[in-house]
Copies of this chain bind each other. A is one copy, B any other.
Amino acid sequence: MQNYLLTLAYDGTNYCGFQVQPNGRSVAQTFQDGLEAVLHSRPDIKGCSRTDAGVHALGFALNFHAETRIPPEKLPLAINQHLPPDIRVLCARVVPEEFHARYAAHTKTYLYRIHNHPIDSPFDEKYYTRVPRRLDVDAMQRAAEQFVGKHDFLALCAAGSSAAAHGDTVRTITDCHVTRKGDEVDIEVTADGYLYNMVRILAGTLCEVGAGRMQPDAIPGILASRDRSQAGPTLPAKGLFLEKVDYDL
């Protein structure tokens, strides 16, 4: 038995999220079907995170233990032949026996994409959220810097989180920045972990700042309040991408 670490990209539009769910088609289930067609067995898979319904991934990581004569560098091609085109295995490698894609992750980086224009885009709106009002990216960047560090992020956590129920709401954001290219505003955040809907609420809060409805220096007070109602709205899933996961390998 070898432990395989795979990196996937997927378009989350038609999935109920990564994790297998009682209702709806999950990325994990669809991936396992493809994997089974190649391996003739159905190993348990460990994902680096549970992405929500509609969230996309550029570099999702998962691992599983299996026995196969297919060399790791040939696995992506072999599995991709049995996957729908909206899920792609990008690379595969063998990792130590005890490696776990979720617990071994140092940091995960998410990207939130905004189309910042008063008029709908003529291009498919599957991969970003539109914010009509011109966003002040400098103010957003000043606010983003306030999120960096070890904080209690309960104010950025949606109701129904098991982490919140267990009082486990301290996380460390190591990087958070906002950039504009033309009408596209990107928010990138790297952290050791995330609470339920945390990136979408963080992005929504930064947009409040960008629209002038909140000041950049309001962020520390919002965090200290531990009150979800003090933060901005939860932006839609379709603008969110799991960009990459960092491991010590």
Residue numbers of A with Cβ under 8 A of B are: 9-11, 56, 58, 76, 80, 85-90, 117, 119-124, 126-127, 182
B86 touches A122 (CB 8 A): yes
Within the complex, what minimum Cβ distance (angstroms) separates A34 from chain B?
Answer: 13
B76 touches A122 (CB 8 A): no
Show 11 A/B contacts (Cβ-Cβ < 8 Å), sorted by A: A9-B123, A10-B122, A11-B122, A11-B124, A58-B182, A80-B120, A86-B122, A88-B119, A88-B122, A89-B119, A90-B119
B10 touches A88 (CB 8 A): no
Interface of A is mostly: loop
List the B side residues contacting A11 at CB < 8 Å: 122-124
Within the complex, what minimum Cβ distance (angstroms) separates A128 from chain B?
Answer: 12
CA distance A90 to B182 in the complex (A): 14
A119 touches B76 (CB 8 A): yes
CB closest residue in chain B, given A59: B182
A88 touches B120 (CB 8 A): yes
List the B side residues contacting A80 at CB < 8 Å: 119-120
Cβ 8 A contact of A88, one of B58, B90, B121: B121
